[in-house]
Structure 1
Amino acid sequence: MKTVLIVECMQEISSFNPVPSEYENFEIEQGEALFAHRGGNTAIGGALQILNADAGIRVMPGIAARAGSAGLLSEQGWRRLSQQLLEAVRAKIDAVDAIYVSLHGAMGASGELDPEGFLLSEIRAMAGPDTPIVISLDLHGILTEKMIKAIDGLAIYHTYPHVDFADTGARAARLLLRLMAGGPPAAIARAVIPALVRGDELITRTGCYGDLIRECQRLEAEGSALSAGVMIGNPFTDVPEVCSQVIISTDGDGKTAQREAERLAAEFWAMRHRMQSRLVPLERAIGQARTLKGTVCFTDAADATSSGASGDSNVILQALREAKYPKRVLAQIVDPAAAAAAHQAGVGATLSLTLGGGMDAERYRPMPVTARVKLLSDGRARLETMGLPLDAGATAVLAFEQFTVVVMSRTVSLFDRAMYFACGLNPADFDLVVVKSPHTEYHMYDGWVAANFNIDAPGATSANIAQLGHRICARPMFPLDAIHEFVPRATLHRRG
């Protein structure tokens, strides 16, 4: 019987969020606690399904660390987290035949701009050159040179909005079993594309990006590739190797891997202009929302907590107020002081306070309101798709004028309706709903709202990429720079 060690480290950050994240942002699971992922729609859950079905495999649960998207991880937080992760691996490495590592790929820490590369290099040094290591990655991850040199294979998400967490873990586990069975070392071709993209065309169900992903799925299904993916990175993680890239892994056939990677990279490059957001001025969106029947959605992607923003933008609320928008508005905001004041006052109380502008103070200003406390909660919920827990801390529902606002103490992912539902609020009961996420699954809003306006607003995750202020990423980079000619060239990596 052979032993597979499972490790996870996942966080996505925005370098433009001034609030650093800390070790305390991470939920840490160790040992048999990882088995709770069985049957769940997580990468570990999918990997366990495949590994547990093989009678010749024993799973050794190591450690899993997961944090919501936020600002750059502090130096102290990274030091503590990385030491804990590597110590957990070191304690079990001697009994391991192979390793599966679940990653996001868009981490960043003060003093270490390639955390995943560092972890994988350290794990490789402990495991030695002959132990297979396979990873899974979010398509918004950033596969770096250091990462790819440390691994034997990888699987990448194929959906956005993401629903294939377990499927990706399962694909990674199948690849790991193949390597353990003595299959030849994979040839991994990587074609880097100097482009940062953000927009509706990245929705894989409907956008042109989805056409490229389906080509990757075809290559996998017909056996031309062991794994294939197009990674669009996270344009808000300002690190040296942020980019878009095509990754093709084959069963030793390097020429095919390179050819297909370059072909898909050329197709991607030709569509780069389409893969930019079409933003709507806030004043125009408010004007049109007045005339529409049915619920409208205001997408505040610039303050998307799931992408690493602070969540304390009140720009849309303030504009609706100043425009005297008359209909019912439902929104969310991160403001620990306001949430604490509401909890102290109690349900039914009326209090004067400010909302927002307390975290990203350079972009937002506190908004004074006199509000009634409608509901108080512990801020706990579960994501609709993944089922993973959310903990927004002390949470309150405040009502003032025509506004109903869910006020949270901590940032959590808001790419579904979970926090609204957990507070007894149904978006369909309101005329305008603010969603702090670039996209949600189709049925959550787009399938039934009268219109969805992607608002042009300031924020640490603004889709107006050229205005964010990148300082570290490689240049030239579209759309930060004009690039008149680009010919993809894939590099080949092969271990063993």
Structure 2
Amino acid sequence: MRVGILALQHESNTFIRTATTLVDFEHDVLATGDEIYPIFKKSAHEIGGFFAGLAETDLEVVPIFVARALPGGTITAETVDTLIDQMLAALKEAGPLDGLLVAPHGAGVSESERDLDGYWLSLVRDAVGPDLPIICTLDAHANVSQQMIDACNATIVYRTNPHIDQKDRGIEAARLMDRTLKGEVKPTQAACFVPLAINIERQHTSSEPCDSLYYVANKMLETPGVLSNSIILGFPYADVEEMGSGFIVVTDDNPTQARELADELGQTLINRRDEFKAHLIGIEDALDRAEQMEGPVCFLDMGDNIGGGSPADGTTILHAIKARRGPTSFACLYDPEAAQTAITAGPGIHLPELAMGGKTDDLHGEPLVANVTVISVHDGDFTEAEVRHGGKTEFHMGPTAVVQTDFGLTIMLNSHRTPPFSLGQLTSCNIHPGDYQILVAKGVQAPLAAYRPVCPNLIRVNTPGSTSADMEQFDYHYRRKPLFPFEPIN
């Protein structure tokens, strides 16, 4: 029996002005057929899990189409049309199938389709017919729609944030497909869409309040007939009707049980809703605290969260460090112009008043102007051997320069937006984390998998930007109402 693999993955931040285009997918992953396996065979991604799980069975693996781009702005309509045309053509060319493993992100938005993942999943369902099993994996930061649920027989969401279980969820999906095709189970699913949005600052799954919520979900897995359940944390930076949190339960041929249990989980969250509101710490308060802590202290720059689509050139924390003339700190900035200036100058050269960062928009601070010395230049390529958020093993920062300011701040200037998912970003450029009191990581939860082992303390810093943890500052037009914490709910 033949099982196909399909994926179109993008986390779309609709508050970012720069659109996501085909070039962004080509820069990350855009592959068909036999091109797919070499990309994911060693990864900790769910597609790597699909391959690993199917390898345990006698099912034939049919890689069909994978498109993925780094989180960013809304995808252009032209790009989506091109990707979906390629996907459906590859699906047709794959020939007869007995099942499909699919991997949307769950928070895709295009200029033409606000529920992008529901749209393309429905097209795939129409193409293969109503009877072929489709089992789906989702990022926990999905904004799930009923259209997505209706298109698939089962949906399995990552259970960790940072996302270090992606491969496990892919394996789980493949094993469920094997049992389904053998006739051992018949997955049926239901979702509960809670009128609540869990703040991104509260979404660390191994800390409270999320940890005990997952405990309840894990206990439910012991219930006879339950094949899977999932918590949807939600993605607050997409202005769509589906924005918010929820639950999915998959049962063995018992849709009523799935509905009742999903609603039960939903009520649990509603009853505890006040626990999921943000606890925000400003920049000056964070710096005061960091000076009294054992270092390195990881400063999580929540307003410039690259994994949430931000531009990666936010400077607000850096301006505050400059004003204090310390403490010793390290940060990465996306700034190809400044990187090239430093590379052209070369190591050892002093550059007066180099303007760094703050160039993409006016949401993330003004350029940081500083006198710097070029420390080193690099090609920006590095690998990660450990399981880290996102499951990637190979990273490409583009031409990179490390510069030292005259006030204790070291800055890595990258030519490509690179999320802080691996310490290899630092060590590949001869940066030693222990040399600094503060390490600035542009994220909220995702960097913890890499940074927690070297940072005895961390502070989530409330900075302005397109991924601010202060959700109420965003101008939503499409979200549901009432939706907690924006409005009260019963």
User: Cα–Cα, structure 1 residues 238 and 189, in superposed 2: closer, same or farther, change >3 Å?
Assistant: same
Any residues of structure 2 matched to 1:316-355 within 5 Å, and which? 316-325=317-326, 327-351=327-351, 352-355=353-356
Q: Deviations over 1:317-366 (max 9, x none)?
A: 001111233x3110011112111212222222222421111102244222
Aligned partners of 2:295 and 2:456 also within 8 Å? yes
Q: Could you tell which deviates more after superposition, 220-229 or 306-315? A: 220-229
* Mapped partners of 1:345, 1:471: distance in 2: 47
In the alignment, which residue of structure 2 is the partner of 1:88?
Answer: 90
For 1:291 and 1:132, the matched residues in 2 are separated by: 56
Unaligned runs of 5+ in 1: 486-496
Match of 2:244 in 1: 243
* 2:54 is equivalent to residue 51 of structure 1: yes
Give the secondary structure class of the aligned counterpart of 1:262.
Answer: helix
Question: Which residue number in structure 2 is paired with residue 420 of structure 1?
Answer: 426
Q: Distance in 2 between matches of 1:77 and 1:338?
A: 30
Distance apart, 1:443 and its partner CA: 6.2
User: What are the Cα deviations for residues 454-488 of structure 1, in whole angstroms up to 9, with x where unaligned?
Assistant: 212101111111112222212221122233x1xxx
* Counterpart for residue 477 of structure 1: 483
Q: CA deviation at 1:450?
A: 4.8
* Residue ranges of structure 2 left out of the alignment (5+ in a row): none
Which amino acid is the alignment partner of residue 237 of structure 2? F
Verify the 8 A CA contact 2:203 2:445 in the aligned structure 1: no
Structure 1, 145-154 or 34-43: larger mean CA deviation = 34-43
1:155 aligns with 2:156: yes
The corresponding residue for 2:399 is: 394
By how many angstroms is 1:206 displaced?
Answer: 2.3
Q: Shift of residue 33 of structure 1?
A: 2.6
User: Per-residue deviation at 1:406?
Assistant: 1.0
8 A contact 1:39–1:49 mirrored in 2:
no
Provide the C-alpha distance between the structure 2 equivalents of 1:293 and 1:51, rounded to a whole number of angstroms. Answer: 46
SS of the equivalent of 2:136 reads strand
User: Aligned in 2, Cα 1:98/1:124: closer, same or farther, shift over 3 Å?
Assistant: same
Q: Deviations over 1:283-329 (max 9, x none)?
A: 1222232333432221101101011111111000001111233x311
Instruction: State the partner residue of 1:134.
Output: 135
Rate the CA distance shift 1:51–1:299 in 2: closer, same or farther, 3 A.
Answer: same
2:221 match: secondary structure? helix
Q: Counterparts in 2 of 1:82-121, with a 5 A limit?
A: 82-92=84-94, 94-121=95-122
Distance 2:443 2:161 in 1: 12
Contact 1:312 1:360 in 2 (8 A): no
2:307 aligns to what?
306
CA deviation digits over 1:186-207, x for unaligned, max 9? 3312111111112554322222
Q: 2:361 and 2:487 mapped to 1: Cα distance?
A: 27
Change (3 A) 1:468 1:421: farther
Q: 1:263 to 1:222 in 2, by over 3 A?
A: closer
Whether the 8 Å CA contact 1:75–1:111 is kept in 2: the answer is: yes
**Secondary structure at 1:274's aligned position in 2?**
helix
Please report how far the alpha carbon of residue 441 of structure 1 lies from its aligned counterpart in structure 2 after TM superposition: 6.2
**2:471 aligned to 450, 465, 470, which one?**
465
**Change beyond 3 A, Cα 1:109–1:245:** same
Q: Is the 1:232–1:244 contact (alpha carbons within 8 Å) kept by the matching residues of 2?
A: yes
Q: How far off its partner does 1:88 sit?
A: 1.5
Aligned to 1:259: 260
AA at the equivalent of 2:10: Q
Measure the CA separation in 1 of the matches of 2:416 and 2:173: 32
CA–CA distance in 2 between the matches of 1:449 and 1:178? 43
After TM superposition, the score normalised by the length of structure 2 is 0.93
Letter in 1 for 2:402: V
1:31 maps to 33
Alignment of 1:7 onto 2:2 = no
Whichever residue aligns with residue 187 of structure 2, its letter is: A
Cα deviations across residues 228-263 of structure 1 (Å, max 9, x unaligned)? 011011111111211111111111223322221111
Residue identity opposite 1:391 in structure 2: H
Shift in Å, 1:71: 1.4
Indicate the SS of the match to 2:276: coil
Match of 1:21 in 2: 20
Cα offset for 1:448? 5.2
Q: Distance in 2 between matches of 1:162 and 1:150?
A: 25
- Looking at structure 1, the residues matched to 278 and 427 of structure 2 have their Cα atoms a distance apart, in angstroms, of 28
SS of residue paired to 1:317 = helix
Q: Which residue of 2 aligns with 1:494?
A: none
8 Å contact from structure 1 (residues 102, 137) kept in 2: yes
Paired with 1:38 and 1:225, the residues of 2 have a C-alpha distance of 30
- Letter of the 2:68 partner, please give it: R
Letter of the structure 2 residue corresponding to residue 52 of structure 1: A
For 2:333, the aligned partner's letter is: I
Q: CA deviation at 1:72?
A: 1.4
- RMSD of equivalent CA atoms: 1.9
| Distance across 1 between alignment mates of 2:368 and 2:201 | 31
Q: Which runs of at least 4 in structure 1 moved beyond 6 Å after TM superposition?
A: none
Q: 1:85, CA displacement in angstroms?
A: 2.0
Distance in 2 between residues matched to 1:28 and 1:353, nearest whole Å:
36
Between the aligned partners of 1:106 and 1:422, the Cα distance in structure 2 is: 32
> Does the C-alpha gap of structure 1 residues 380 and 223 become closer, same or farther in structure 2, counting only changes over 3 Å?
farther
- For the Cα contact (< 8 Å) 2:196–2:483, is it kept in 1? yes
Structure 2 distance, partners of 1:58, 1:445, is: 39
Matched, 1:433 2:432: no
- Relative to 1, partners in 2 of residues 1:202 and 1:186: Cα closer, same or farther, differing over 3 Å? same
Q: Give the Cα separation in 2 of the matches to 1:296 and 1:372.
A: 24
Displacement of 1:425 in angstroms is: 1.1
Distance across 1 between alignment mates of 2:146 and 2:487: 23
Distance in 2 of aligned mates of 1:33 and 1:478: 44
1:221–1:350 distance in 2 versus 1, CA, 3 Å: farther
User: Relative to 1, partners in 2 of residues 1:291 and 1:150: Cα closer, same or farther, differing over 3 Å?
Assistant: closer
Rounded Cα–Cα distance in structure 2 between residues aligned with 1:417 and 1:111: 38
Partner of 2:338: helix, strand, or coil?
Answer: helix
Aligned residues: 480
Aligned residue type for 1:462: S
Three-state SS of the structure 1 residue aligned to 2:366 is coil
Aligned to 2:360: 359
